[in-house]
Structure 1
């Protein structure tokens, strides 16, 4: 059975190509997956925008309304890194809806992948670090509220710490947060995840994969999840503009293979999101993100 892949045209809010956030990568990623036959004939699953009630499970209702009505305070927009207009709000709702759909499809099929998501810097009171809504946090809250999952593990392999996710779930014992990140990278003010693995600058494939294996064993034993959210950020890559690590394409592929394989071998559902990745070369960046979906098809 084909692995379900999720995409919505609204994932791309059509930023100026000169913007620091490479928005067009989402459209190009979706095109590449079709061109290369990674997505099967049935095409993508298209998510509905996240409902306001879903968003309020993880975020302060006042902040949710500020986003929905294009009234985000300038200080929060500055922390996010771009203006939150109607198009950005819809993009954020659709990306979050995509992660909710990925989680539900993962529970049904074992594995599903979004072509967006991983906005892990958004906290309960507002966004930050190119993150408007914390899609993984919202999806986890929705599944817990609906009774579709009882114990959730977040495996965050973005190069930046998943600080927003950690803070949202700091007092929620049903959600275990694991963050494997470059210790000296953004954010300067780190949160406390249930398990943090801070890595030294310049770490390469072999050392990274060794640290990953140890972390997966520890997090799995402590959390005993029935669902895993996997943030497969490609910013640990050696060519990433905002990363500080030195993984290769092969290293990213093996990382994805180990995370997905670890939990699928144990019968645990995995919902994967693409996380961060930063480059002026959109073609190279989108192909880097496509590694996740290519690896996922190995588990079809």
Structure 2
């Protein structure tokens, strides 16, 4: 199996109005292949996650409504698009891709899901274009199988990982850390183990100082595995983010996280998270930098 999960469904099943931001899921692996950063053997297409895996993080009633395509219209509106069998398959493949890359990372240090970072899905709800929480499912899988004892989730997407925080609210073996826009979506925040709210317009220096101060504190949890959500919607160019990081600042952010993991012998699974800059090149370039920096530090 390769170290990067990708599937054609990651890019294509969404309604017309949502297809532009999904183009990145085609373009990211294509760009990495074009630059010679990865080879075709590094990519694999995950199967759909099974029901048992989903139920490690989500409640049976919610899963049944997804599985049977009976989710109420109000709940579908909360997600942001109509529930379809193809959309559900997409989410299941994303979740399995994160499970598979977590297992690969345990053996090899680092692995990536080209999609993922569906952190707004809670135990019994979907929200913000997220049906199932891929990193919560994968973290629960590692714990359930005895493959990990204590997990750290580092969420640096511009939006709070509210679903992840809710799922692990009473799980002492998982420490949830989120740095996010204080006044951005979701407007009803959950409580992570460590939340760092950020004011609108925050620039590189301020962001990186806050992250640098927080990372050593995370070791107090004594994790043996890290999930990293590396959203690039923190960029100044992002139309939804409200922060003001440069591309260099975003690269430094990733370097800090991967160096922290490497120096502390912590394998890390990476899901890409959000990115909504008007120019698709900005999104793809920033995400590709995450791959390049991670691979460089761990190889």
TM-score by length of 2: 0.95
Residue equivalent to 1:176: 175
- Find the residue that maps to 1:136 and give its secondary structure: helix
Q: How far does residue 162 in structure 1 lie from its aligned partner after superposition?
A: 0.5
Q: How far has the Cα of 1:291 moved from its partner?
A: 1.6
The Cα of 1:283 is off from its aligned counterpart by: 3.3
Shift of residue 281 of structure 1?
A: 2.9
Deviation at 1:284, TM superposition (A): 2.9
Partner of 2:97: 98
**How many correspondences in the alignment?**
297
Q: 1:253 is matched with which residue?
A: 251
- Asked if the contact 1:105/1:111 (under 8 Å) is kept, the reply is yes
Does the Cα contact within 8 Å between 2:11 and 2:19 map onto a contact in 1? Answer: no
State the secondary structure of the residue aligned to 2:243: coil
2:120 and 2:130 in contact (8 A); partners too: yes
Preserved CA contact (<8 Å) 1:158 1:180 = yes
Q: Which runs of 5+ in 2 are unaligned?
A: none
Aligned match of 1:262: 260
CA shift at 1:68, angstroms?
2.1
Deviation for aligned residue 1:253: 0.8
> Match of 2:287?
289
* 1:6 and 2:14 are equivalent in the alignment: no
Matched with 2:151 is 152
Alignment of 1:183-262 (within 5 A): 183-221=182-220, 223-262=221-260
Look up the match of 2:46. 47
User: SS of the counterpart of 1:19?
Assistant: helix
**How far is 1:21 from its partner?**
6.9
Q: CA deviation at 1:72?
A: 1.8
Alpha-carbon deviation of 1:252? 0.9
Contact preservation (8 Å) 2:182, 2:197: yes
Residue aligning to 2:36: 37
What is the Cα-based RMSD across aligned positions, in Å?
1.5
Query: In the alignment, which residue of structure 2 is the partner of 1:112?
Result: 111
Q: Deviations over 1:239-286 (max 9, x none)?
A: 111101111111111101110110111111111110111134333322
